[in-house]
Chains A and B, each alone.
Chain A
Amino acid sequence: MSRTARTIGLTCWAILGFNFILAAIVAGWQFSAEQMTFLLLLAGYLIVSIFIFPAILAIIYRSSFNYWWIWTALIGLWILGGVGNQLQGQVPGWLSLLGSLIFFGSWVALLVGAGVVLFQRDIALPLIGTLSLVFVWVATITWWVRGDLIAEMLGIMLGTPGTGDGIFWLAVLLSSIVCLLPIAIVGFCVTTVRAIRREIRGNTLPAVAPVQTESASTSNH
């Protein structure tokens, strides 16, 4: 790991630690309304930085996205977290909160992972095409099967009992696609610029690969 990556990593851990201290202060002490407002802002910062934390970690350890098991683990965490989030009211509050945190954290990490892969490999265009089709057809079929989605959405917004049940995963899928599409578009632009730069540079491969010398091969070890 490079020095920069190590510095970013240590800073992240420090921010996380600071967040826990802040959380303890907010939870444990009594404050006036003005102080409470200020602390709520701090709590907002806490929540945001908790979601930024997995993103930064994913960027630092981006090479791990080359392994399938990292993806499997993150998707597993994402689903488990989502289930925890959905069981709000049926399980202890701390478990539901933990589920939500895991859910959003792994989601952010997955999005970063997708971004990393998109910048490394030229798969943005098929991804954009597939995601847009999935988005439209999932929305269409769901509407067809479930009926009025506007009522469902209004029900969720108003907290009407009995509405919005089971639509959680649809919302998650569609919003994931909405988040992924701009990443894929940026990935497409980046890989296009890279291809143009390669073209300008011309034949960049060595015509005949240099023979690997003894010293060169040993220095690699």
Chain B
Amino acid sequence: MITIVVLIALVLVGGLAALNAGRSDPIFMLLALGLLIVSFRQLLTWPDDERRRYGLTPSDEQFAPLQQRIQRLAVQVGLPRSPILLITAEEYDVRVFGSWRRWYIGMDRQLAERFLTAIDNPQQAQSVDAVLVHELFHFRHNDNIWMGLARSLLRNGLILNLWFGCLIIGMVMLANLAQDNFFANYSPDQLAQTFNQILAGQGGDLAYTLFGSQEEFERIRDQAQHISFSQTIWNIVLNIFPFLLFGGILLLQFWRRFLRLREVYADAGVAQIRGEVYSLIKAIPLAGGTANSQPTNFAAWLGQGLRALRTRYLASDHDLIDRINYLHHPEQLYGVAWKYGLLSGFFVNFLNLVLVGTSAILVIGNWPLHFPVVASVILIALYLLPALVMGSLRQVFCNSLVILMITVAIYGGLVLFVLILLIGGALIDPAFVNEGLELAVNAFIWYSGPATEPLVEDTWGLLREVALINLLQIPTLIMVIGGSVALLATLIRRMLTWYGMPQIERRLMRAVVILILLVAAFVGLAILPPISDLILRRAPLSLPSLWFWAGATIGMLGCLAFGIWFLRQDRRYAGRCPHCSAIVPGPYMFGRRCDNPACNQALHPWLEAHYRVEAQP
């Protein structure tokens, strides 16, 4: 979840910042900064907004048993603080929301009353506890923060870009109208005469202070008359449109999946804490049992339609059957590799299209492989974690290969599509390609006028160059991503043999995530720059700046420090039983026990959750 949110943030904020490439005014940098500030701020004000929106008020004495139950279960789940129960008279079901230090569980009064009645019955009380533990696990996984941030980023990214587009188009049109009038009707000399009527003797000074000398005025007028305002507006539309389009697709297509993932992880928490999930499965109708009423008028009908649309695309209620299925068959959680490959492939390529479809390409174009490689390495490594834990090497190999091939196929498909379009166009009429390229170039240059000379002299030569650069990227992607994932799989597998590590249940997965990020950073900083230089036929390391070397040095030092730490941990804890300190040789296997017959304890008990799905007979 964190990775996905970070990727979204990187693309939306980084993409906006990269739009500033080649511009002296920091307008897009400010927009990127604004997006970050507004999104974080929205997370901070979320509790108040939610309370105001649904009329949620602190539970009174009537619901004290429920609040006390939440407090008791929060301790059991290991939360540093207990969320506050809020009640509303509106239709609300049960939801958690909050920021870093303000946690709330919201519930509609009808449901809270049902819960109150249920806790008097020992069997039904189990179900209430299961629901509450499920909700509390959202706080333990920081779902409120990450989902809140992802939602704010996507929503604000859309709104901010739309607003900015409307504002800047209006400003360009105003500038166009003003310059038409101004340069046609006024000059500093004329204005000096006019101002002299108001401020006798000082009009000239005022006019020349405001508009410069007559010569300077004429120079600016000539420059301004060469600006094509229609091209400027075209440029704005083309820069903003990809953010709107792909941001919208991400919101509609991936949001529900994020929500489902969140719910499934919370369900896993219930299984881990309670040792059974039957009470949770039984409780789902109890929690979500709001009856659908028939609309009585047009407004009600419209409201119900909008709610249905929201549920279809943005809410998680639709996935209840899936959730119950995963509780029965947790191994199916991540789905088959090809489905995950399609999902992650589209995700990575959509985000990549946001970057390459705008002026950000002026920066990203120098490093075309960085985003797809780094994002794919991280997503594939995260997907492989369960397979690595389960210890199936064959599954790890097959799954990585399938996901890698699908991701690269989508990338390659897009590249081929553009190439076919260009070559087809050139076959029909080379001038058509030239016009298309000119249009594309105009999309990335601000305040431009029409080109006086053709941009492309040799169309076929350019197409050969473009085809070579783009087609070379495909095998490079396969090799770099494949190599990085293989390295990660080997290291993670080795880390899984650190049985003797103290507090391993908390430290190991944190170390694995750091390892994945470090390998991704290493690939981005050390492996991809020379490869990009080679593909783009630049002098080796010709582009890197001082910032690049500073980043690369820090990255290398980080990798070195992690390497030393890794070797020390490996020497100290690998293949050592945490219970009897006996040596346990051989590779990691899921559910493995100590070889010492006197000990025979599970080496990684924290990785196993034993729970019942069916009710006890």
Contacts and interface: CB of A to CB of B under 8 A. Distances in A.
Nearest to B37: A192
21 contacts: A122-B45, A129-B159, A132-B167, A133-B163, A133-B166, A133-B170, A137-B166, A143-B178, A148-B185, A149-B178, A150-B186, A151-B181, A196-B44, A198-B48, A199-B101, A202-B81, A206-B58, A208-B64, A209-B59, A209-B60, A211-B61
Interface string B95-135: 00001111100000000000000000000000000000000
A209 B58 contact: yes
A207 interface: yes
Nearest to B170: A136
A142 to B, nearest CB: 10
Contact of B102 (A139, A203, A209): A203
Nearest to A122: B45
A186 B86 CA distance: 31
Contacts of B167: 132-133, 136
A158 B197 CA distance: 7
Given A139-B174, A143-B177, A203-B102, A208 B61 contact: yes
Interface in A122-152: 122, 125, 129, 132-133, 136-137, 139-140, 143-144, 147-151
Contacts of B173: 140, 144
A216 interface: no
B163 A207 contact: no
A214 B71 CA distance: 29
A143 to B, nearest CB: 5
A140 B102 contact: no
B392 interface: no
B71 A207 contact: yes
B44 A195 contact: yes
A1 interface: no
Contacts of A150: 178, 181-182, 185-186
A48 interface: no
Interface in A164-221: 191-192, 195-196, 198-209, 211
B491 interface: no
Contacts of B99: 199
A170 B17 CA distance: 36
B53 to A, nearest CB: 12
Nearest to B163: A129
Of all A-B residue pairs in the complex, the 5 with the closest CB atoms, nearest first, are: A136-B170, A202-B101, A195-B44, A148-B181, A140-B174
Nearest to B61: A211
A98 interface: no
B38 interface: yes
Contacts of A203: 81, 83-84, 101-103
A139 B177 CA distance: 10
B318 interface: no
Contacts, number: 96
Among B44, B63, B64, B194: residue with most chain A CB under 10 A: B44
Per DSSP, chain A at the interface is: helix
Contacts of A191: 45
Per DSSP, chain B at the interface is: helix
A150 B194 CA distance: 12
A52 B45 CA distance: 34
B568 interface: no
Given A136-B170, A137-B170, A208 B67 contact: yes
Interface in B537-578: none
Interface of B: 38, 41, 44-45, 48-49, 58-61, 63-64, 67, 71, 81-86, 99-103, 159, 163, 166-167, 170-171, 173-174, 177-178, 181-182, 185-186, 194, 197-198
Among A143, A151, A200: residue with most chain B CB under 10 A: A143
A215 to B, nearest CB: 17
Interface of A: 122, 125, 129, 132-133, 136-137, 139-140, 143-144, 147-151, 154, 157-158, 191-192, 195-196, 198-209, 211
Nearest to B172: A140
A129 B185 CA distance: 33
Contact of B174 (A129, A136, A196, A211): A136
Contacts of A202: 81, 101-102
Nearest to B164: A129
A209 B101 CA distance: 20
Among B101, B103, B186: residue with most chain A CB under 10 A: B101
A207 B198 contact: no
Contacts of A201: 101
Contact of A147 (B41, B166, B171, B181): B181
A200 B102 CA distance: 9
Among B41, B49, B83, B86: residue with most chain A CB under 10 A: B41
Contacts of B178: 143, 149-150
A205 B44 contact: no
B84 A205 contact: yes
A144 to B, nearest CB: 6
B406 to A, nearest CB: 40
Nearest to A126: B159
Contacts of B82: 207
Contacts of B38: 125
Contacts of B59: 208-209
A157 B63 CA distance: 69
Contacts of A151: 181, 185
Given A133-B170, A147-B181, A205-B58, 19 more contacts: A122-B45, A129-B163, A132-B167, A133-B163, A137-B170, A140-B170, A143-B174, A143-B178, A150-B186, A157-B198, A158-B194, A158-B197, A198-B48, A200-B101, A202-B102, A203-B84, A204-B102, A207-B71, A209-B58
A151 B184 CA distance: 12
Nearest to A202: B101
Contacts of B61: 208-209, 211
B41 A192 contact: yes
Contacts of A192: 41, 44
Contacts of B67: 207-208
A140 B168 CA distance: 12
Nearest to B184: A148
